[in-house]
Every structure is written in C-alpha cells, then in structure tokens.
Amino acid sequence: MGATSNGAAISTDFPVWIPSLPKENVSGILPVVSNDGKSVLLIFSTKEKCRAYLDASGTPTEYVARPIEDSLAMFGLLVLLEKKGTAYVSLDPIGQNEITVQQIAKIREAIERAIG
C-alpha cells in the first residue's frame, strides 16, 4: 500500500520500519527536527535501511528498527504523532543533512482515503 497526495508520494509495502526505543510508545521514536524546527518521522522501507541509518547517524545503540505492520497501524501512528506536533514524514532518508519530507497531514489523509 502506498500513500499519494497532491503529487507527493510515500509509496512502499508494509511492513515499514521506524527508529525507536524498544518497548516504548510514541515517545520512544527517534526525534528528528527539520530545518524549520518541526519534528520529522523517519520511515524506512526495510529493516536493513533503518538499521543502516541508525548506525551511520551515530544514534545511541539502544534504538532499534521497529516494524509498522500495516496501513491501519501507520494511520494510528500518524494521528498520534500529528497531535504531538510532528509535521513531516520522510521515507528512506539517505543522509543526515538533506532529507526529502512530505507533510504528515497529506500522508495521513491519503491513507485515510485508502482504508475508507
């Protein structure tokens, strides 16, 4: 399942992976801040890509790659994060300095339309 909105897309199959502390709720997700000071949720299409990002970015070793199993779980996560002030989503960021982001609201809306 992919999510597309206004020409911007995050398209991937599930599960997807997020960097997070093990056994934590949304507060354990790796905090990343955009240039405009807004929170970004990093999403990876494979566990290996998530792990590689964690290794390359110097993230503390207690962070792990956690799966998001399906679009409904992703929708719920996006709703919670949006309420907590997360503004963007980035799929498979390849570097620490420059990442492409999509508005979390647009991705959430696309998933909501897809799951009806």
| Residues 34-71 pLDDT 10s | 878 889 999 999 999 999 999 998 899 999 999 999 99
Report the share of the chain in percent with pLDDT over 90. Answer: 63
What sign has the CA pseudo-torsion 105, 107, 111, 116? positive
Structure confidence at residue 61 (pLDDT): 92
Domain architecture of the chain: domains with CATH? 31-115 (3.40.1350.90)
Cα distances from 49 to residues 3, 26, 84, 91, in angstroms, run 20, 20, 26, 10
Question: Is residue 74's pLDDT more than 90?
Answer: yes
Task: Identify any residues that bridge with 27 across adjacent strands, giving them in sequence order.
Answer: none
In this prediction the pTM is 0.86
Average pLDDT, the chain: 86
Structure confidence at residue 2 (pLDDT): 36
